[in-house]
Chains A and B, each alone.
Chain A
Amino acid sequence: MSDDLAWLTATQASRAFAARKLSPTELVRALLARIERLDPKLNAFIRLDAETALAAAATAEAEIAAGRHRGPLHGVPVGIKDIIDVVGLPTTCHSKVMPNTPATADAVVVGKLRQAGAVIMGKLSTHEFAIGGPSFDLPWPPARNPWNRDHHPGGSSSGSGVGLGAGFFPLALGTDTGGSVRNPASACGIVGLKPTYGLVSRRGVFPLAFSLDHVGPMTRDVADNALLLDAIAGHDPHDPGSAASSSRDFARGLERGVRGLRIGYVRHFHEQDMPAHPEVAAGLDAVARTLAGEGAILSDITLPSLGEFAAVNRVILNAEAWTIHAPWLRERPGDYGQLARRRLMPGAFLTAGDLLAAQRRRAEMIAAVDAALEEVDVLLCASSMDPASRIEDADETARTYPRQARAPFNTTGHPALAMMAGLSRDGLPLSVQFVARHFADATLFQVARAWERASGVDRLHPDLS
Protein backbone atom coordinates (compact mmCIF):
# COMPACT_ATOMS: atom_id res chain seq x y z
CA MET A 1 0.00 0.00 0.00
CA SER A 2 1.20 3.51 -0.60
CA ASP A 3 2.01 5.68 2.39
CA ASP A 4 -0.53 8.16 1.02
CA LEU A 5 -3.39 6.00 2.32
CA ALA A 6 -1.75 5.35 5.69
CA TRP A 7 -1.40 9.07 6.37
CA LEU A 8 -4.74 10.11 4.93
CA THR A 9 -6.68 12.31 7.35
CA ALA A 10 -10.41 11.79 7.90
CA THR A 11 -11.07 15.02 6.05
CA GLN A 12 -9.04 13.85 3.04
CA ALA A 13 -10.62 10.39 3.11
CA SER A 14 -14.12 11.83 3.21
CA ARG A 15 -13.36 14.08 0.22
CA ALA A 16 -11.89 11.13 -1.67
CA PHE A 17 -15.02 9.03 -0.94
CA ALA A 18 -17.29 11.84 -2.14
CA ALA A 19 -15.25 12.26 -5.33
CA ARG A 20 -15.32 8.46 -5.94
CA LYS A 21 -11.52 8.42 -5.97
CA LEU A 22 -11.39 5.97 -3.06
CA SER A 23 -13.92 3.72 -1.35
CA PRO A 24 -14.22 2.95 2.37
CA THR A 25 -13.58 -0.71 1.60
CA GLU A 26 -10.36 0.08 -0.28
CA LEU A 27 -9.16 2.22 2.62
CA VAL A 28 -10.06 -0.33 5.30
CA ARG A 29 -8.43 -3.18 3.35
CA ALA A 30 -5.25 -1.15 2.93
CA LEU A 31 -5.14 -0.25 6.62
CA LEU A 32 -5.83 -3.84 7.71
CA ALA A 33 -2.88 -4.99 5.60
CA ARG A 34 -0.67 -2.34 7.21
CA ILE A 35 -1.85 -3.32 10.70
CA GLU A 36 -1.16 -7.00 9.97
CA ARG A 37 2.36 -6.11 8.85
CA LEU A 38 3.35 -3.62 11.54
CA ASP A 39 1.25 -4.15 14.65
CA PRO A 40 3.06 -7.30 15.83
CA LYS A 41 5.96 -4.91 16.60
CA LEU A 42 3.85 -2.10 18.05
CA ASN A 43 0.94 -3.78 19.93
CA ALA A 44 -1.59 -1.02 19.33
CA PHE A 45 -4.49 -3.47 19.15
CA ILE A 46 -5.87 -5.73 21.85
CA ARG A 47 -8.49 -6.92 19.41
CA LEU A 48 -8.62 -6.15 15.71
CA ASP A 49 -12.18 -6.63 14.43
CA ALA A 50 -11.39 -6.94 10.72
CA GLU A 51 -14.55 -8.76 9.66
CA THR A 52 -16.91 -6.25 11.27
CA ALA A 53 -14.84 -3.34 9.98
CA LEU A 54 -15.00 -4.62 6.42
CA ALA A 55 -18.76 -5.14 6.70
CA ALA A 56 -19.23 -1.60 8.05
CA ALA A 57 -17.03 -0.22 5.26
CA ALA A 58 -19.13 -2.04 2.66
CA THR A 59 -22.31 -0.60 4.15
CA ALA A 60 -20.85 2.90 4.16
CA GLU A 61 -19.70 2.46 0.59
CA ALA A 62 -23.19 1.43 -0.55
CA GLU A 63 -24.81 4.34 1.31
CA ILE A 64 -22.40 6.89 -0.13
CA ALA A 65 -22.88 5.45 -3.62
CA ALA A 66 -26.64 5.75 -3.16
CA GLY A 67 -26.29 9.42 -2.23
CA ARG A 68 -27.03 8.87 1.47
CA HIS A 69 -23.88 10.56 2.78
CA ARG A 70 -24.02 10.90 6.55
CA GLY A 71 -21.24 13.45 6.94
CA PRO A 72 -17.47 13.78 7.22
CA LEU A 73 -16.90 10.60 9.27
CA HIS A 74 -18.93 8.34 7.00
CA GLY A 75 -16.77 5.36 6.05
CA VAL A 76 -13.77 6.65 8.03
CA PRO A 77 -11.90 4.12 10.26
CA VAL A 78 -11.65 4.73 13.99
CA GLY A 79 -9.92 2.88 16.84
CA ILE A 80 -11.44 2.61 20.34
CA LYS A 81 -9.51 2.48 23.62
CA ASP A 82 -10.37 -0.75 25.38
CA ILE A 83 -12.04 0.77 28.40
CA ILE A 84 -14.87 2.00 26.15
CA ASP A 85 -17.75 -0.40 25.43
CA VAL A 86 -18.31 -1.62 21.88
CA VAL A 87 -21.29 -3.94 21.60
CA GLY A 88 -20.33 -7.54 20.95
CA LEU A 89 -16.72 -7.14 22.09
CA PRO A 90 -15.32 -7.63 25.60
CA THR A 91 -14.08 -4.50 27.36
CA THR A 92 -10.84 -5.85 28.78
CA CYS A 93 -9.40 -2.69 30.34
CA HIS A 94 -6.12 -4.47 29.41
CA SER A 95 -6.61 -6.56 32.55
CA LYS A 96 -7.09 -10.12 33.68
CA VAL A 97 -9.57 -8.78 36.22
CA MET A 98 -12.34 -8.06 33.73
CA PRO A 99 -14.71 -10.85 32.67
CA ASN A 100 -14.27 -12.04 29.09
CA THR A 101 -17.87 -11.32 28.15
CA PRO A 102 -19.00 -9.08 25.31
CA ALA A 103 -20.45 -5.66 26.03
CA THR A 104 -24.21 -5.65 25.56
CA ALA A 105 -24.40 -2.04 24.38
CA ASP A 106 -22.21 0.62 22.85
CA ALA A 107 -20.86 3.44 24.97
CA VAL A 108 -22.67 6.67 24.09
CA VAL A 109 -19.61 7.95 22.20
CA VAL A 110 -19.39 4.74 20.15
CA GLY A 111 -23.09 4.96 19.34
CA LYS A 112 -22.56 8.50 18.10
CA LEU A 113 -19.68 7.36 15.89
CA ARG A 114 -21.85 4.61 14.40
CA GLN A 115 -24.56 7.19 13.73
CA ALA A 116 -21.97 9.26 11.90
CA GLY A 117 -21.08 6.21 9.80
CA ALA A 118 -17.54 5.71 11.15
CA VAL A 119 -15.96 2.24 10.77
CA ILE A 120 -14.83 0.73 14.08
CA MET A 121 -11.56 -1.14 13.57
CA GLY A 122 -11.20 -2.70 17.02
CA LYS A 123 -10.13 -2.24 20.61
CA LEU A 124 -6.84 -0.59 21.55
CA SER A 125 -4.18 -1.10 24.21
CA THR A 126 -4.27 0.93 27.38
CA HIS A 127 -2.53 0.94 30.70
CA GLU A 128 -4.37 -1.51 32.96
CA PHE A 129 -7.62 0.23 33.98
CA ALA A 130 -6.14 3.40 32.46
CA ILE A 131 -3.58 3.67 35.28
CA GLY A 132 -1.22 0.68 35.54
CA GLY A 133 1.42 0.80 32.84
CA PRO A 134 3.53 0.33 30.91
CA SER A 135 3.41 -3.23 32.25
CA PHE A 136 4.87 -6.52 31.11
CA ASP A 137 2.87 -8.68 33.54
CA LEU A 138 -0.56 -8.34 31.88
CA PRO A 139 -2.40 -10.63 29.43
CA TRP A 140 -1.39 -8.34 26.51
CA PRO A 141 1.96 -6.62 25.94
CA PRO A 142 2.28 -2.84 26.22
CA ALA A 143 2.07 -0.74 23.05
CA ARG A 144 5.34 0.69 21.73
CA ASN A 145 6.22 4.08 20.30
CA PRO A 146 6.03 4.18 16.48
CA TRP A 147 8.88 6.72 16.34
CA ASN A 148 11.16 4.28 18.16
CA ARG A 149 9.76 1.04 19.47
CA ASP A 150 12.27 0.98 22.31
CA HIS A 151 10.39 3.93 23.81
CA HIS A 152 7.13 4.31 25.69
CA PRO A 153 4.27 5.67 23.58
CA GLY A 154 2.71 7.43 26.57
CA GLY A 155 -0.44 6.33 28.29
CA SER A 156 -2.87 5.41 29.24
CA SER A 157 -4.48 5.70 25.78
CA SER A 158 -1.36 4.06 24.37
CA GLY A 159 -2.86 2.08 21.50
CA SER A 160 -4.80 5.13 20.32
CA GLY A 161 -1.61 7.21 20.09
CA VAL A 162 0.41 4.38 18.54
CA GLY A 163 -2.21 3.51 15.94
CA LEU A 164 -2.50 7.13 14.82
CA GLY A 165 1.25 7.63 14.80
CA ALA A 166 1.76 4.43 12.83
CA GLY A 167 -0.89 5.16 10.20
CA PHE A 168 -3.34 2.41 11.27
CA PHE A 169 -6.43 4.70 11.32
CA PRO A 170 -7.03 8.46 11.13
CA LEU A 171 -9.28 8.73 14.21
CA ALA A 172 -9.26 7.28 17.71
CA LEU A 173 -10.95 7.69 21.06
CA GLY A 174 -8.99 7.90 24.29
CA THR A 175 -9.77 8.79 27.87
CA ASP A 176 -8.04 11.28 30.13
CA THR A 177 -8.10 11.35 33.95
CA GLY A 178 -4.64 12.76 34.70
CA GLY A 179 -3.45 13.32 31.13
CA SER A 180 -4.09 9.98 29.38
CA VAL A 181 -5.15 11.42 26.01
CA ARG A 182 -2.51 14.14 25.99
CA ASN A 183 0.40 11.95 27.10
CA PRO A 184 0.28 9.58 24.11
CA ALA A 185 -0.49 12.57 21.88
CA SER A 186 2.74 14.13 23.17
CA ALA A 187 4.83 10.97 22.89
CA CYS A 188 3.50 9.86 19.49
CA GLY A 189 3.41 13.30 17.82
CA ILE A 190 -0.32 13.45 17.20
CA VAL A 191 -3.20 15.71 18.37
CA GLY A 192 -5.08 14.85 21.58
CA LEU A 193 -7.84 16.84 23.20
CA LYS A 194 -9.20 16.58 26.72
CA PRO A 195 -12.47 18.44 26.16
CA THR A 196 -14.20 20.60 28.73
CA TYR A 197 -15.43 18.38 31.58
CA GLY A 198 -19.00 17.34 30.86
CA LEU A 199 -18.93 18.08 27.13
CA VAL A 200 -18.63 14.40 26.12
CA SER A 201 -20.63 11.58 27.70
CA ARG A 202 -18.73 9.01 29.77
CA ARG A 203 -21.58 6.49 29.85
CA GLY A 204 -20.34 3.05 28.82
CA VAL A 205 -16.73 3.91 29.68
CA PHE A 206 -15.10 2.04 32.58
CA PRO A 207 -14.41 4.75 35.17
CA LEU A 208 -11.07 5.55 36.77
CA ALA A 209 -12.10 8.62 38.76
CA PHE A 210 -15.59 10.01 38.31
CA SER A 211 -14.90 13.72 38.67
CA LEU A 212 -11.68 13.67 36.61
CA ASP A 213 -12.57 11.33 33.73
CA HIS A 214 -12.98 12.67 30.19
CA VAL A 215 -13.36 10.97 26.80
CA GLY A 216 -11.26 12.73 24.18
CA PRO A 217 -10.67 12.75 20.43
CA MET A 218 -7.24 11.75 19.11
CA THR A 219 -6.21 12.41 15.51
CA ARG A 220 -3.23 13.22 13.30
CA ASP A 221 -4.29 16.79 12.59
CA VAL A 222 -6.28 19.56 14.19
CA ALA A 223 -9.14 19.70 11.68
CA ASP A 224 -9.90 16.01 12.21
CA ASN A 225 -9.88 16.52 15.96
CA ALA A 226 -12.57 19.19 15.66
CA LEU A 227 -14.63 16.90 13.41
CA LEU A 228 -14.36 14.02 15.86
CA LEU A 229 -15.37 16.26 18.77
CA ASP A 230 -18.36 17.43 16.75
CA ALA A 231 -19.43 13.81 16.41
CA ILE A 232 -19.09 12.78 20.08
CA ALA A 233 -20.02 15.93 22.05
CA GLY A 234 -23.47 16.52 23.44
CA HIS A 235 -25.52 16.40 26.61
CA ASP A 236 -26.31 13.01 28.10
CA PRO A 237 -29.05 13.13 30.74
CA HIS A 238 -27.87 9.78 32.12
CA ASP A 239 -24.27 10.90 32.74
CA PRO A 240 -24.29 12.76 36.08
CA GLY A 241 -21.27 14.84 35.03
CA SER A 242 -22.73 15.87 31.69
CA ALA A 243 -23.08 19.58 31.01
CA ALA A 244 -26.19 21.00 29.39
CA SER A 245 -24.10 22.40 26.57
CA SER A 246 -25.20 22.37 22.97
CA SER A 247 -21.81 23.51 21.62
CA ARG A 248 -21.21 22.34 18.07
CA ASP A 249 -19.19 23.18 14.97
CA PHE A 250 -15.87 23.13 16.77
CA ALA A 251 -14.04 23.78 13.51
CA ARG A 252 -15.72 27.13 13.00
CA GLY A 253 -12.63 29.21 13.81
CA LEU A 254 -10.05 26.82 12.49
CA GLU A 255 -8.48 29.07 9.87
CA ARG A 256 -8.94 32.39 11.65
CA GLY A 257 -5.35 32.55 12.83
CA VAL A 258 -4.20 34.08 16.10
CA ARG A 259 -3.78 37.77 15.21
CA GLY A 260 -4.80 39.76 18.27
CA LEU A 261 -5.45 36.67 20.38
CA ARG A 262 -3.99 36.92 23.90
CA ILE A 263 -1.88 33.91 24.86
CA GLY A 264 -0.60 33.43 28.42
CA TYR A 265 2.66 31.49 28.61
CA VAL A 266 2.81 29.45 31.85
CA ARG A 267 6.59 29.35 32.00
CA HIS A 268 6.93 28.48 35.68
CA PHE A 269 5.51 25.00 35.06
CA HIS A 270 8.57 23.94 33.05
CA GLU A 271 11.15 26.50 34.18
CA GLN A 272 10.72 26.32 37.97
CA ASP A 273 8.14 23.78 39.15
CA MET A 274 9.51 20.84 37.12
CA PRO A 275 12.51 22.00 35.06
CA ALA A 276 12.07 20.49 31.62
CA HIS A 277 14.54 18.73 29.35
CA PRO A 278 16.33 21.50 27.39
CA GLU A 279 14.91 20.35 24.07
CA VAL A 280 11.37 20.42 25.48
CA ALA A 281 11.91 23.95 26.81
CA ALA A 282 13.38 25.09 23.50
CA GLY A 283 10.41 23.58 21.65
CA LEU A 284 7.94 25.48 23.83
CA ASP A 285 9.82 28.75 23.26
CA ALA A 286 9.75 28.10 19.52
CA VAL A 287 5.97 27.62 19.60
CA ALA A 288 5.55 30.86 21.58
CA ARG A 289 7.79 32.79 19.18
CA THR A 290 5.99 31.40 16.15
CA LEU A 291 2.54 32.31 17.47
CA ALA A 292 3.79 35.79 18.36
CA GLY A 293 5.07 36.04 14.81
CA GLU A 294 1.58 35.12 13.63
CA GLY A 295 0.19 38.11 15.53
CA ALA A 296 -0.73 36.68 18.94
CA ILE A 297 -0.09 38.84 22.00
CA LEU A 298 2.10 36.82 24.40
CA SER A 299 2.41 37.44 28.13
CA ASP A 300 3.54 35.41 31.12
CA ILE A 301 0.89 33.92 33.42
CA THR A 302 1.24 32.41 36.89
CA LEU A 303 -0.94 29.56 38.18
CA PRO A 304 -0.68 27.47 41.37
CA SER A 305 2.40 25.24 41.37
CA LEU A 306 2.47 21.98 39.44
CA GLY A 307 3.39 20.10 42.61
CA GLU A 308 0.25 21.23 44.33
CA PHE A 309 -1.93 20.59 41.29
CA ALA A 310 -0.49 17.06 41.20
CA ALA A 311 -1.19 16.48 44.89
CA VAL A 312 -4.82 17.59 44.58
CA ASN A 313 -5.32 15.50 41.45
CA ARG A 314 -3.77 12.40 43.03
CA VAL A 315 -5.77 12.56 46.27
CA ILE A 316 -9.04 12.87 44.34
CA LEU A 317 -8.04 10.22 41.80
CA ASN A 318 -6.85 7.77 44.46
CA ALA A 319 -9.98 8.20 46.57
CA GLU A 320 -12.40 7.82 43.67
CA ALA A 321 -10.51 4.91 42.08
CA TRP A 322 -10.39 3.04 45.40
CA THR A 323 -14.17 3.09 45.71
CA ILE A 324 -14.37 1.41 42.28
CA HIS A 325 -11.64 -1.20 42.74
CA ALA A 326 -11.82 -1.99 46.48
CA PRO A 327 -13.93 -5.17 46.12
CA TRP A 328 -11.55 -6.69 43.54
CA LEU A 329 -8.41 -5.52 45.36
CA ARG A 330 -9.68 -7.23 48.50
CA GLU A 331 -10.63 -10.50 46.80
CA ARG A 332 -8.31 -10.82 43.78
CA PRO A 333 -5.23 -8.65 44.24
CA GLY A 334 -3.14 -11.13 42.27
CA ASP A 335 -5.23 -10.61 39.14
CA TYR A 336 -3.91 -7.05 38.80
CA GLY A 337 -0.50 -6.23 37.41
CA GLN A 338 1.95 -4.84 39.93
CA LEU A 339 1.70 -1.22 38.76
CA ALA A 340 -2.09 -1.10 38.83
CA ARG A 341 -2.13 -2.75 42.26
CA ARG A 342 0.26 -0.12 43.62
CA ARG A 343 -1.56 2.79 41.99
CA LEU A 344 -5.10 1.72 42.91
CA MET A 345 -4.56 0.90 46.59
CA PRO A 346 -3.42 4.30 47.94
CA GLY A 347 -7.05 5.36 48.33
CA ALA A 348 -7.36 2.82 51.14
CA PHE A 349 -4.99 4.96 53.21
CA LEU A 350 -6.54 8.38 52.63
CA THR A 351 -8.85 9.99 55.15
CA ALA A 352 -12.09 11.85 54.56
CA GLY A 353 -10.20 14.96 55.63
CA ASP A 354 -7.59 14.40 52.89
CA LEU A 355 -10.28 14.21 50.23
CA LEU A 356 -12.16 17.26 51.45
CA ALA A 357 -8.96 19.29 51.68
CA ALA A 358 -8.25 18.40 48.05
CA GLN A 359 -11.79 19.22 46.92
CA ARG A 360 -11.77 22.56 48.71
CA ARG A 361 -8.41 23.49 47.19
CA ARG A 362 -9.71 22.30 43.84
CA ALA A 363 -12.44 24.95 43.99
CA GLU A 364 -9.73 27.59 44.46
CA MET A 365 -7.67 26.13 41.60
CA ILE A 366 -10.64 26.28 39.22
CA ALA A 367 -11.09 29.93 40.19
CA ALA A 368 -7.37 30.62 39.66
CA VAL A 369 -7.39 29.20 36.13
CA ASP A 370 -10.66 31.02 35.39
CA ALA A 371 -9.05 34.27 36.57
CA ALA A 372 -5.99 33.70 34.37
CA LEU A 373 -8.30 33.10 31.43
CA GLU A 374 -9.94 36.45 32.05
CA GLU A 375 -6.57 38.09 31.35
CA VAL A 376 -5.82 36.01 28.24
CA ASP A 377 -7.75 33.89 25.74
CA VAL A 378 -5.56 30.79 25.81
CA LEU A 379 -2.76 29.35 27.95
CA LEU A 380 0.38 27.85 26.42
CA CYS A 381 2.36 25.44 28.61
CA ALA A 382 4.29 22.20 28.67
CA SER A 383 2.61 18.83 28.32
CA SER A 384 5.46 16.35 29.02
CA MET A 385 8.71 17.63 30.55
CA ASP A 386 10.78 14.97 28.81
CA PRO A 387 10.81 13.06 25.53
CA ALA A 388 9.37 9.53 25.84
CA SER A 389 11.30 7.23 28.19
CA ARG A 390 12.73 3.87 27.19
CA ILE A 391 9.88 1.47 27.75
CA GLU A 392 11.91 -1.28 29.39
CA ASP A 393 13.69 1.11 31.73
CA ALA A 394 11.26 1.07 34.65
CA ASP A 395 13.32 3.56 36.67
CA GLU A 396 13.44 6.12 33.85
CA THR A 397 9.72 5.72 33.23
CA ALA A 398 8.95 6.09 36.94
CA ARG A 399 11.11 9.24 37.06
CA THR A 400 9.68 10.94 33.97
CA TYR A 401 6.06 9.82 34.07
CA PRO A 402 4.91 12.27 36.77
CA ARG A 403 6.86 15.12 35.16
CA GLN A 404 3.91 16.58 33.28
CA ALA A 405 1.55 19.56 33.25
CA ARG A 406 -1.63 17.82 32.16
CA ALA A 407 -3.26 16.82 35.45
CA PRO A 408 -4.00 20.46 36.45
CA PHE A 409 -6.68 20.64 33.80
CA ASN A 410 -8.35 17.39 34.79
CA THR A 411 -8.58 18.94 38.23
CA THR A 412 -10.12 22.16 36.90
CA GLY A 413 -12.08 20.78 33.93
CA HIS A 414 -10.70 23.29 31.41
CA PRO A 415 -10.27 22.02 27.83
CA ALA A 416 -6.63 21.21 27.01
CA LEU A 417 -5.01 20.06 23.78
CA ALA A 418 -1.56 18.52 23.35
CA MET A 419 0.27 18.21 20.04
CA MET A 420 3.70 17.99 18.52
CA ALA A 421 6.11 20.89 18.97
CA GLY A 422 8.83 19.30 16.83
CA LEU A 423 11.30 16.44 17.05
CA SER A 424 14.19 15.91 19.45
CA ARG A 425 17.72 15.30 18.17
CA ASP A 426 17.01 11.59 18.75
CA GLY A 427 13.93 11.76 16.53
CA LEU A 428 11.31 11.60 19.29
CA PRO A 429 8.31 13.95 19.37
CA LEU A 430 8.39 17.04 21.58
CA SER A 431 5.09 18.53 22.71
CA VAL A 432 3.12 21.63 23.62
CA GLN A 433 -0.22 22.09 25.39
CA PHE A 434 -2.89 24.76 24.92
CA VAL A 435 -5.67 25.43 27.46
CA ALA A 436 -8.84 27.51 27.08
CA ARG A 437 -11.90 28.63 29.04
CA HIS A 438 -14.60 26.10 29.84
CA PHE A 439 -16.52 25.32 26.63
CA ALA A 440 -14.08 27.34 24.50
CA ASP A 441 -12.75 24.13 22.93
CA ALA A 442 -13.11 25.75 19.49
CA THR A 443 -10.59 28.44 20.50
CA LEU A 444 -8.06 25.69 21.23
CA PHE A 445 -8.47 24.35 17.72
CA GLN A 446 -7.95 27.86 16.33
CA VAL A 447 -4.61 28.25 18.13
CA ALA A 448 -3.50 24.67 17.51
CA ARG A 449 -4.25 25.01 13.81
CA ALA A 450 -2.24 28.24 13.62
CA TRP A 451 0.77 26.41 15.08
CA GLU A 452 0.20 23.38 12.84
CA ARG A 453 -0.06 25.54 9.71
CA ALA A 454 3.05 27.56 10.56
CA SER A 455 5.18 24.58 11.59
CA GLY A 456 3.97 21.75 9.37
CA VAL A 457 4.15 19.28 12.27
CA ASP A 458 1.19 17.35 10.86
CA ARG A 459 3.35 16.33 7.92
CA LEU A 460 5.95 14.59 10.12
CA HIS A 461 5.55 10.82 10.29
CA PRO A 462 7.78 8.02 11.58
CA ASP A 463 9.60 5.84 9.09
CA LEU A 464 8.16 2.37 9.63
CA SER A 465 9.34 0.78 6.41
Chain B
Amino acid sequence: MDKLLIEALARQAGLDRALAEFPDCVLAAAKQAIGRSSEINTPTSPAVEPWPPMKVGAGA
Protein backbone atom coordinates (compact mmCIF):
# COMPACT_ATOMS: atom_id res chain seq x y z
CA MET B 1 0.00 0.00 0.00
CA ASP B 2 1.04 3.52 -0.71
CA LYS B 3 3.10 5.06 2.10
CA LEU B 4 1.18 8.34 1.94
CA LEU B 5 -2.09 6.48 2.29
CA ILE B 6 -0.77 4.55 5.33
CA GLU B 7 0.30 7.82 6.91
CA ALA B 8 -3.12 9.32 6.26
CA LEU B 9 -4.85 6.28 7.81
CA ALA B 10 -2.49 6.42 10.82
CA ARG B 11 -3.34 10.09 11.38
CA GLN B 12 -7.03 9.34 11.05
CA ALA B 13 -6.58 6.72 13.81
CA GLY B 14 -4.88 9.31 16.03
CA LEU B 15 -1.41 7.78 15.67
CA ASP B 16 0.37 11.07 14.87
CA ARG B 17 2.83 10.66 17.73
CA ALA B 18 3.63 7.05 16.82
CA LEU B 19 4.06 8.12 13.21
CA ALA B 20 6.55 10.80 14.22
CA GLU B 21 8.52 8.69 16.72
CA PHE B 22 8.18 5.15 15.35
CA PRO B 23 7.37 5.33 11.63
CA ASP B 24 8.76 1.82 11.00
CA CYS B 25 6.42 0.36 13.61
CA VAL B 26 3.41 2.09 12.07
CA LEU B 27 4.37 0.83 8.62
CA ALA B 28 4.91 -2.72 9.91
CA ALA B 29 1.55 -2.68 11.68
CA ALA B 30 -0.25 -1.44 8.59
CA LYS B 31 1.35 -4.14 6.44
CA GLN B 32 0.15 -6.81 8.87
CA ALA B 33 -3.43 -5.56 8.67
CA ILE B 34 -3.94 -4.52 5.10
CA GLY B 35 -4.99 -7.39 2.90
CA ARG B 36 -5.35 -9.81 5.81
CA SER B 37 -9.06 -10.26 5.12
CA SER B 38 -8.22 -11.39 1.57
CA GLU B 39 -6.89 -14.58 3.20
CA ILE B 40 -10.38 -15.30 4.53
CA ASN B 41 -13.01 -17.17 2.52
CA THR B 42 -15.79 -14.79 3.41
CA PRO B 43 -19.13 -16.63 3.40
CA THR B 44 -21.17 -15.94 0.29
CA SER B 45 -24.48 -16.90 1.84
CA PRO B 46 -26.18 -13.93 3.47
CA ALA B 47 -27.58 -16.40 5.99
CA VAL B 48 -24.18 -16.62 7.72
CA GLU B 49 -24.37 -13.97 10.43
CA PRO B 50 -21.49 -12.52 12.46
CA TRP B 51 -23.03 -12.66 15.93
CA PRO B 52 -22.97 -13.43 18.72
CA PRO B 53 -19.18 -13.00 18.56
CA MET B 54 -18.54 -15.95 20.84
CA LYS B 55 -21.13 -18.23 22.36
CA VAL B 56 -20.39 -21.90 22.67
CA GLY B 57 -23.51 -23.00 24.54
CA ALA B 58 -24.36 -23.49 28.15
CA GLY B 59 -22.54 -26.73 28.86
CA ALA B 60 -23.65 -29.43 31.23
Q: Which residues of A are interface residues toward B (Cβ below 8 A)? A: 196-199, 210-212, 241, 243-247, 307-308, 311-312, 314-316, 318, 326, 329-331, 333-334, 338, 341-351, 353-354, 356-364, 366, 413-414, 438-439
Q: Let me know if A196 and B40 touch, CB within 8 A.
A: no
**Cβ-neighbour of B54 out of A197, A307, A331 (below 8 A):** A197
Q: Let me know if B9 and A348 touch, CB within 8 A.
A: yes
- Residue of B15, B32, B51, B54 most packed against chain A (CB within 10 A): B54
Q: Let me know if B17 and A333 touch, CB within 8 A.
A: yes
- Give the CA-CA distance A241 to B59 in the complex, in Å: 13
- Residue of A212, A247, A345, A359 most packed against chain B (CB within 10 A): A345
Proximity bits, B15-32, A CB within 8 Å = 1, else 0: 111100110011011101
CB-nearest residue of chain A relative to B59? A245
Query: Which secondary structure dominates where chain A touches chain B?
Result: helix
Q: Let me know if A331 and B41 touch, CB within 8 A.
A: no
Closest CB-CB distance, B27 to chain A, in whole Å? 9
Given contacts A308-B39, A338-B25, A360-B42, contact A345 B18 (CB under 8 A): yes
CB-nearest residue of chain B relative to A414? B56
Within 8 A of A (CB), among B39-60: 39-43, 48-51, 53-60
Given contacts A354-B37, A360-B48, A361-B42, contact A341 B15 (CB under 8 A): no
- Give the CA-CA distance A303 to B24 in the complex, in Å: 36
Q: What residues on A are CB-neighbors of B43 within 8 Å?
A: 360-361, 363-364
Closest CB-CB distance, A83 to chain B, in whole Å? 19
Q: Let me know if A318 and B33 touch, CB within 8 A.
A: yes
- Give the CA-CA distance A415 to B54 in the complex, in Å: 14
Given contacts A241-B54, A342-B25, contact A348 B37 (CB under 8 A): no
Query: Which secondary structure dominates where chain B touches chain A?
Result: loop
Q: Let me know if A342 and B36 touch, CB within 8 A.
A: no
Taking A354-B37, A361-B40, A364-B48 as given, write out 13 further A-B residue pairs in contact, using a Cβ cutoff of 8 Å, ordered by the A residue number. A197-B56, A311-B39, A315-B36, A318-B36, A330-B16, A330-B18, A342-B25, A348-B29, A349-B33, A360-B42, A363-B43, A363-B48, A414-B56
**Cβ-neighbour of B59 out of A343, A354, A438 (below 8 A):** A438
Size of the chain B interface, CB-CB below 8 angstroms = 38
**Cβ-neighbour of B9 out of A243, A315, A318, A349 (below 8 A):** A349
- Give the CA-CA distance A443 to B17 in the complex, in Å: 50
Q: Let me know if A348 and B15 touch, CB within 8 A.
A: yes
Q: What residues on B are CB-neighbors of A307 within 8 Å?
A: 39
Q: What residues on A are CB-neighbors of B34 within 8 Å?
A: 349
Closest CB-CB distance, A134 to chain B, in whole Å? 17
Q: What residues on B are CB-neighbors of A361 within 8 Å?
A: 40-43
- Residue of B15, B26, B34, B57 most packed against chain A (CB within 10 A): B57
Q: Let me know if A308 and B36 touch, CB within 8 A.
A: no
- Residue of A247, A315, A342, A343 most packed against chain B (CB within 10 A): A342
Indicate if B4 sits at the interface (CB-CB under 8 A): no
Q: What residues on A are CB-neighbors of B54 within 8 Å?
A: 197-198, 211-212, 241, 413
Q: Let me know if B42 and A357 touch, CB within 8 A.
A: yes
Q: What residues on B are CB-neighbors of A346 within 8 Å?
A: 29-30, 32-33, 36
Q: What residues on B are CB-neighbors of A318 within 8 Å?
A: 32-33, 36
CB-nearest residue of chain A relative to B17? A333
- Give the CA-CA distance A375 to B51 in the complex, in Å: 26
Q: What residues on A are CB-neighbors of B57 within 8 Å?
A: 243, 438-439
A-B contact pairs, 20 of them (CB 8 A): A245-B59, A307-B39, A312-B40, A315-B37, A318-B36, A333-B21, A341-B22, A342-B29, A344-B29, A346-B30, A348-B30, A349-B34, A350-B33, A350-B36, A354-B33, A354-B37, A360-B43, A363-B48, A413-B54, A438-B56
Q: What residues on A are CB-neighbors of B18 within 8 Å?
A: 329-330, 333, 341, 345
Q: What residues on A are CB-neighbors of B49 within 8 Å?
A: 360, 363
Q: What residues on B are CB-neighbors of A438 within 8 Å?
A: 56-57, 59
**Cβ-neighbour of A245 out of B40, B55, B58 (below 8 A):** B58
Closest CB-CB distance, A438 to chain B, in whole Å? 4
Closest CB-CB distance, B28 to chain A, in whole Å? 5
- Give the CA-CA distance A351 to B29 in the complex, in Å: 14
Q: What residues on A are CB-neighbors of B26 within 8 Å?
A: 345
